[in-house]
Structure 1
Amino acid sequence: MKRARCLGAPAVAALLLSAAANAQGVSPRQLVEVADLGELAVSPDGSRVAFRLQQPSVERNTHDTTWYVQPLDASAPARRVGEGGQPLRESDGASLAPAGVTWSPDGRFLYYRALLDGRVAVWRARADGSGARAVTRDAADVRGFRLAADGRSLHYRVGATRQQVRDAEQAEYDNGIHIDATVALGQPLYRSGRLDGRAATQRLHGGDVIRSPLLAGVADRWLALDLATGNAREVSGGAAPPVSPAHARVAPFKAWKLAWDAHAARVAMLVHVTEWQGVGPRPEVALSVLAAGKGARPVQCRDPLCTGKPITAIQWRPGHDEVLFTVTDADDSQAQSIFRWNVASGRVLPVVRTSGLMNGGRGVPGTCAVSAAALVCVAADARHPPRLERVDLDSGDRRVLFDPNAALAADMASVPVQRLHWQDAAGRRFNGLYFPARRAAGQPAPLFLTYYRCSGFVRGGVGDEWPLATLAGHGISALCINAPPSVLDAVTRFEIGRSAIESAIALLSSRGEIEPGNVGMGGLSYGTEVTLWMAMHSHTVSAASVSSIAFSPLAYTLMSLSGEPFFSRLRTYWQLGDPAATPAQWKRLSPAFNLDRIHIPVLMQLPEQEYLHTLDYAVPLIRDRRADLYVYPNEAHQKFQPRHKLAVYERNLDWFRFWLQGFEDPQPAKAGQYARWRMMADRRGAASPGQAPD
């Protein structure tokens, strides 16, 4: 077993030189405070773009959001037009999918939802930056809205009032909380998580993992607001758009994605050519257009550039017979290219090819905004954090409109990043992003790797917890591996992950770039499962860090009250039932039944929402000095508070520098963690090897 090393004078000198050379390198705080851009919308006349900036602040432990408007020709800088409030989030901590921003027909105003002053309302900002105000003042939070075509009225929907929700929470507190299938056991029960910007009591809603506030199931009420008078009236029967004959004509095709051309009454469609159950490689999609008129048949794109391609997004070019489609290459770290298909001629031409994302800079699917002349996209790749770009649709010329991360981009320019492709012994192909460390005199470096998804500007893997560029700057090479399409059989799925990891280590070792016996690994969610699988079944990893749960009998007990949704998911994806009914599979998969196989140190940095699920295997590991556990209050599956993100980044950096380099940060505040880790190292040195992994 590998131990924390006592470095000799030459190695210490090399580390000091490396630290000095990287004193101006990328810090964990820079990665936490990356600004994200989104919610793009082009003005009705096609001359301006509206967008929202989201900027984390470690100092204030919050996220600032701001709305901007900028001319598409870059004739003037972006103008700040309104506050966006606190970001609205999913219950797992991730940002909500775009809620939609709408221009007024005359281009004078922007309408958007924002969480400000403790309520979610629809706001109207003047596009010239002269002011913004809330136009809805409902006692309930606004769940969605749409602006009338003439711009004179706004329809919006609400559920239970904020006071009704608070009263329901207090009533439970006073009378006792009844435990049933909707209660998320394993987390505090009263106002235990942050939803809609406040501490809220949560309930499982529509499944065994999705959490919602109390009274989330109250039916929508639609209201119509006269924007001239400010008067609102309730709309009987709702205000959702009626199902049109066009929708009815499209329904038989079971389209995966649709894009409507309202002016020509036609629709572009992406249709899977075979049935897909959500697991394994996504089937090929067929791109076609269904014109208006009874009896019309879809016209399919037959050009080689649009057939057999992983098309992931479609939209119409305004005023043209062209469908713009995005191809996302899963074999190249989700690199995206955009093409235009002329429906009349059948010709397909490339617009832009990139080595990163054009859909928002993150893994969340999105599209560019579009005018008749240009796309406006949030571009990002491994070396360039998110920035707003204009892409000319005819020439493909790219121009940066707005770059809030220019300083970080300048620092990243000196960070080497490589796209890595390799195969395992079975011929399976894998890919990832590799951050090679600066090495003294060509000596091999330690390696850290994470496994899941590596698209766009990769800060710290899925969940953003392992600062890859920072690790490389401190002498630890970092590799983010893109997991191949999932398979249903859990053991096969994890063994494919193991093969990807071991073959990558072998490749880098054969090049003399890394020390094969000095490898760390970390991951969130599926990445946690694969990390623990490697700890149980492989010799190649010498230190681990996880940030979420793996299944164990305790997790099964806590989650089983939600009933069939949980049992079905467990059977389908892990082939697990009750531990007494499927003991062999539990023995294969769960760390609780493989404690004697885990011989490497494990750092656990878990959200309060999940940590109790791990205690039947975490506590024995902690007692035996094989694990160190930190829990972050009021955090969900993906941590989102900036101070917590920074603490996680910095502790992971300390952890892997300790185990892979034998380095300790001399800051007095960190003395306690190093004292624990040294005891863990002593325990490893004194322990017998025990049963080796398979």
Structure 2
Amino acid sequence: MSIISKPAMAVLLVFFAQTATAESADLLLSHSGIGPADGRVALTAAALSRLIDIGPISPTAGVPMFTASPDGKKIAFQIRQGDPESNSYNLQMVVVDLTSTQKPLIVDEGGEIILLKTGGLNGTASNTGVPATISPQWDSSGSSIYFLKRSNGRSQIWRASSNRRESEQITSLPDDVDDFLLTDDRQTLIYTSVHQDLAHTQQLAGEAKIGYRYDARFVPLYSNVPESFAPSKRRFYALSLKSGNSVPLDSSTSELFEARTKSALLATTRSGWKAWATASDGRVGGSNTLSAVDERGQIRRCTHPTCTGIEALWWTADGKRVRYVTREGWANSATAIYEWSPGRQSPNRIYSTNDLLLDCQPSGSGVLCAREQSIHPRHIVYLDLEHDTPSTVFDPNPSFQQFALGQVERLRWRNSFGLEVFGDLVYPVGYQRGRRYPLVVVQYVSRGFLRGGVGDEVPIQVFANRGFAVLSIQRPDFRIPDDAAKTRITRERWRLRGFRDRRSVLSAIEVAVRMLVNRGIVSRQQVGITGLSDGSSTVQFAALNSNYFKAGSVSGCCWDPFQDAFFGPSISDTYHQIGWPALVDYRSAFWRRISLIGNAHRVKFPILMQQADAEFRGAVASYTALRQAGKSPELYVYPGEYHIKWQPAHRLAVYVRNLTWFDYWLRNIGNPVSDSSDN
């Protein structure tokens, strides 16, 4: 990113002093349901589901959620708002002028949400349900931005003016454009498109006429045919912005996109000096360390403990010092910015906060970041690192603070393994000291805005408005021994042995619950637990190995002795390497600790299962066993969903069902299967 000039910075600081916000009332995204401005009102599930978002939950490395113009005076980004009634998203591309008091400018609107795809089997990609990062890229003059937009079922590259509401589509491929970048001279767009392998498609069509052979291509959990992870090919093109002509490129172009990802932790000064963060060892998931080339051309490495776990880095404007973002403190619960002069041993901390800072980018003497606070949804701030003062650049939800919100207390403790753990206690709205409240546990990330836990399925502040205390927990993680961290397989095998990791997470939750009971805040007989994915595994484990909970809710469930049958041969083989028993060993003692099927009569509490249609088969056997054992389970299947539910109507339905479920089982209110809403 270009550094903002000093004259521009003077105007910028005046702009911040006037408390610039999104002025969202003038944006086209509706705040209906967000609440009146004449006093604090109860937060409802409907209102929470309509929050305006900037970027995905976690930014993609090398793909920033907001970008600056070449002169650093403007930033551009996409905002989105789910609309449960139409089950669609309102999308807008916004440009903010950092040097004036003008309101944010909407330069494009409309389109369909683009979902992130991750690498699946055989080098293919599969949907996750997580929104993709739509990262605008600027032309050399700063007068136009380029971005991906999906319309009429196809994703293509669009161009918009940065000065007025004017946009146009500039590519028209028959397949989706899934990624693009501008060359260094900003004169050419390099873009990619993924399409199905024609030969493979024809082969499948022929095989369909005589019946498919069941083999490693099948993943019955997701599909009835062997094309769940069908191979595909990537094509590359170059579009001249001057002539408008587009030509195909060879596959070696892929190196440009790989370099972009690697450059996420690489910074270069105007004179060419470089600083970078690289893996410090061969450990999978290991930390990274900081290195730089000093003015003499020598490589300097920072060996100080704070020079690890780096999430972003950049040079100061004078090109003499490196600044970087890392995590520190109890269980790495704080975010810090340090400054290091290559050749010196110890860096200096220049900023530290419990807030979540994402996608930090240099701007003058400070930095622009997307920030989340426990009761404040994501917004963009400027951090003046010389004066240690943050100023709001853009807040898409200024009226959110009109709601009645439960106070938040950061908690720190150790589990039975001695690991540091942190979490956040959200008090019921109107909390009265000396009164005990029902508690809902939400997993398994507690950084930033406390919205709904991983997957956003448990509306934390809505529960607080309904008289619940909520414990949002950050799962603890072991430092895995070097000999067990060489590959993902060895890493997961170490964690699974003796259910070491699952016992650690459950212990962290139980210790915190016991602490809150002892403090007189929580009723021991009114504790519920929730979780998606890894969190679902903890709920399943707790159902057989804990006496702390009276009800549970999961998504992405379940582990069971017959899972090989719906995982398919390829995925099953991977799990066997980790240590999960094969189907022929379904009577293994291993399953006594976690299988709901084999131990249905021992399950301690009723479980609500809210499954994507792409995953519900994995829960059917467990649900059936629990129902036959009289354990009052409920199973809901959401069509067109993935591991993370992305449809606004479904998100609201999931919110409401969780509220209804715990109202009934923890407070004896209503009906556990009622579909009534609190809209």
- Using the size of structure 1 for normalisation, the TM-score is 0.79
Q: Distance in 2 between matches of 1:650 and 1:270?
A: 44
Do structure 1's residue 524 and structure 2's residue 532 form an aligned pair?
Answer: yes
Q: Does the 8 A contact of 2:360 with 2:367 survive in 1?
A: yes
Matches of 2:216 and 2:618 in 1, distance apart? 17
Alignment map for 1:394-543 (pairs within 5 Å): 394-411=386-403, 414-424=405-415, 427-437=418-428, 438-439=430-431, 442-486=434-478, 488-490=494-496, 491-543=499-551
Following superposition, the deviation at residue 76 of structure 1 comes to: 1.7
Answer yes or no: is 1:643 the counterpart of 2:649: yes
Contact 2:77 2:134 in 1 (8 A): no
Residue correspondence of structure 1 range 607-686 to structure 2 within 5 A: 607-626=612-631, 627-664=633-670, 670=676
Equivalent residue, structure 1, for 2:228: 203
Q: Once the two structures are superposed, what CA deviation does each residue of 1:157-178 show, in whole Å capped at 9, x if it has no partner?
A: 2232799999999888777666
Per the TM alignment, residue 458 of structure 1 is displaced from its structure 2 partner at its CA by 1.9
1:613 maps to a residue whose letter is: G
* Secondary structure at 2:509 match in 1: helix
Shift of 1:388: 1.3
Amino acid across the alignment from 1:59: E
Equivalent of 1:599 in 592, 596, 604 = 604
Structure 1 residue aligned with 2:114: 87
Q: Distance in 2 between matches of 1:426 and 1:117?
A: 53
Change (3 A) 1:526 1:148: closer
Amino acid aligned to 2:528: G
Maintained 8 Å contact 2:601/2:629: no
Aligned mates of 1:292, 1:401 — CA distance in 2: 35
CA–CA distance in structure 2, aligned partners of residues 665 and 64 of structure 1: 34
Larger deviation, residues 644-653 vs 337-346: 337-346
Aligned counterparts of 2:457 and 2:149: Cα–Cα separation in 1: 28
Q: Could you report, residue by residue, the CA deviation over 1:17-74 in whole angstroms, capped at 9, with x for unpaired residues?
A: xxxxx99222112222222213211111111111111221112212222211112235
Letter in 1 for 2:116: R
2:46 maps to 29
Unmatched 5+ stretches in structure 1: 1-21, 191-200, 205-213, 248-254, 360-366, 672-694
Which residue number corresponds to residue 484 of structure 2? Answer: none
Check the 8 A contact 2:107/2:161 in 1, yes or no.
yes
Q: Give the Cα–Cα distance (whole angstroms) in 2 for the partners of residues 515 and 470 of structure 1.
A: 19
Say if 1:142 and 1:668 are closer, same or farther in 2 by CA, change over 3 A. Answer: closer
| Residues 252-271 of structure 1 mapped to structure 2, 5 A cutoff | 258-261=265-268, 263-271=270-278
Tell me which residue corresponds to 2:299. 298
Matches for 1:79-478 after TM superposition, within 5 Å:
79-83=105-109, 85=111, 86-90=113-117, 91-95=126-130, 98=133, 100-160=135-195, 179-189=214-224, 203-204=228-229, 214-215=230-231, 217-218=232-233, 220-236=234-250, 238-240=252-254, 258-261=265-268, 263-278=270-285, 282-283=286-287, 285-290=288-293, 297-301=298-302, 306-307=306-307, 310-317=309-316, 320-329=319-328, 331=330, 334-343=333-342, 348-359=347-358, 367-411=359-403, 414-424=405-415, 427-437=418-428, 438-439=430-431, 442-478=434-470
Distance 1:125 1:162 in 2: 33
The AA in structure 2 aligned to 1:66 is Q
SS of equivalent to 1:664: coil
* Distance in 2 between residues matched to 1:260 and 1:444, nearest whole Å: 52
CA positional deviation for 1:345: 6.9
Work out the CA distance in 2 between the residues paired with 1:81 and 1:450: 38
1:685 alignment counterpart: none
Give 1:133 deviation, angstroms: 1.0
1:155 Cα deviation from its structure 2 partner: 2.1
Contact preservation (8 Å) 1:265, 1:292: no
Distance of 1:257 and 1:236 partners within structure 2 = 24
Cα distance in structure 2, aligned partners of 1:410 and 1:202: 49
Change (3 A) 1:418 1:228: same
Structure 1 position 634, deviation (Å): 1.2
Match of 1:674 in 2: none
Q: Distance in 2 between matches of 1:538 and 1:243?
A: 47
Distance 1:131 1:631 in 2: 41
Which residue number corresponds to residue 86 of structure 2? 60
Report deviation, 1:416. Answer: 0.7
Q: Which runs of 5+ in 2 are unaligned?
A: 1-38, 56-64, 118-125, 481-493
**One-letter code aligned to 1:271:** T
The Cα shift of 1:502 comes to 1.7
**Aligned residue identity for 2:581:** L
SS in 1 for 2:441: strand
Aligned partner of residue 554 in structure 1, secondary structure: coil
Q: Tell me the C-alpha RMSD between the 2 structures.
A: 3.4
**What amino acid is the match of 1:355?**
N
SS at match of 1:489: helix
Secondary structure at the aligned position of 1:616 is classed as: helix
Quickly say closer, same or farther: Cα 1:88–1:495, change in 2 above 3 A.
closer
Once the two structures are superposed, residues 477-531 of structure 1 have per-residue CA deviations (whole angstroms, 9 ceiling, x without a partner) of: 1101111115633211121122212211211111111111221111011111111
Contact 1:103 1:110 in 2 (8 A): yes
Q: Is the 8 A contact 2:600 2:629 kept in 1?
A: no
What letter is aligned with 1:52? Q
Q: 1:391 to 1:155 in 2, by over 3 A?
A: same
User: Cα 1:466–1:237, aligned 2, differ >3 Å: closer, same or farther?
Assistant: closer
* Deviation, structure 1 residue 589: 2.7
Supply the AA of the counterpart residue of 2:293: L
Q: Note if contact 2:660-2:673 (Cα within 8 Å) is conserved in structure 1.
A: no
